[in-house]
């Protein structure tokens, strides 16, 4: 059962992903999937809110898009989006947030890292959040999106996987930034 705080956090993070989706997507010439900041929001939701609330955030975002409200990058919306090349990535974000939250684990607050100062206290948590973001926000999303892309476009699984390789450096950077931001928020135990 969700309490008022949970509902507010889910709404806030859903709005954050919507805002990140409004930033114009950057098209990639040889791939019908643009570079967007949605996965950054998925990573943050899982890292900061945990698996269930993070998953609920992304599920809410996807449902809002599916009922026709243009919250996806480029102002897209509706069930037809699922039939396109990005449909698998969009659906993969839901379990991606859940996996990210599970792997990130419970945050360590200021009192649980007393005696350690600065980067030496933060580095292990940032690394853990980065690994969780890579596993959930990248690998899980890719595992759903690449086969979907290969089938919808007819390019096949291998060619789709190679086409998506262009996104890996940017997604690794998003995961690192999400890890740094989440570690700061989690350390303060704000959520």
Instruction: Please state, in angstroms and rounded to a whole number, the distance separating the CA atoms of residues 95 and 104.
Output: 14
Are 49 and 101 within 8 A, CB to CB? Answer: yes
The CATH number of 4-187 is 1.10.1760.20
Are 21 and 93 within 8 A, CB to CB? Answer: no
pLDDT at 23: 85
pTM score: 0.89
- Whose structure tokens read 């360590």? 108
pLDDT at 115: 44
pLDDT at 25: 81
Would the pLDDT of 17 be above 90?
yes
Pure H helices in the chain: 4-22, 38-49, 51-66, 87-104, 118-132, 141-153, 156-164, 168-187
Top pLDDT among 42 and 187 is at 42
User: What distance lies between CA 191 and its chain's CA centroid?
Assistant: 18
Instruction: Please state, in angstroms and rounded to a whole number, the distance separating the CA atoms of residues 182 and 59.
Output: 20
pLDDT at 118: 63
Instruction: Please state, in angstroms and rounded to a whole number, the distance separating the CA atoms of residues 83 and 57.
Output: 22
Domain assignments of the chain as residue spans, ordered by start = 4-187
Taking all residues of the chain, what is their mean pLDDT, rounded to a whole number?
Answer: 89
pLDDT, tens only, 84-142: 999 999 999 999 999 999 999 876 655 444 445 566 677 888 999 999 999 999 999 99
């Amino acid at each position: 059962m969700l309490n008022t705080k949970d509902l507010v956090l889910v709404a806030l993070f859903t709005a954050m992903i919507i805002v990140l989706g409004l930033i114009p997507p950057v098209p990639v010439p040889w791939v019908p999937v643009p570079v967007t900041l949605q996965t950054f929001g998925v990573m943050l939701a899982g890292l900061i809110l945990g698996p269930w609330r993070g998953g609920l955030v992304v599920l809410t975002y996807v449902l809002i898009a599916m009922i026709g409200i243009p919250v996806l990058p480029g102002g897209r919306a509706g069930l037809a989006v699922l039939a396109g090349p990005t449909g698998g990535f969009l659906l993969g974000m839901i379990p991606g947030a859940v996996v990210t939250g599970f792997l990130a684990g419970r945050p360590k607050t200021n009192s649980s890292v007393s005696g350690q100062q600065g980067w030496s206290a933060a580095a292990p948590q940032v690394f853990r959040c980065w690994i969780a973001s890579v596993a959930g926000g990248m690998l899980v999303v890719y595992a759903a999106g690449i086969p979907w892309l290969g089938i919808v476009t007819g390019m096949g699984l291998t060619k789709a996987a190679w086409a998506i390789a262009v996104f890996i450096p940017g997604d690794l950077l998003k995961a690192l930034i999400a890890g740094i931001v989440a570690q700061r928020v989690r350390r303060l135990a704000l959520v």
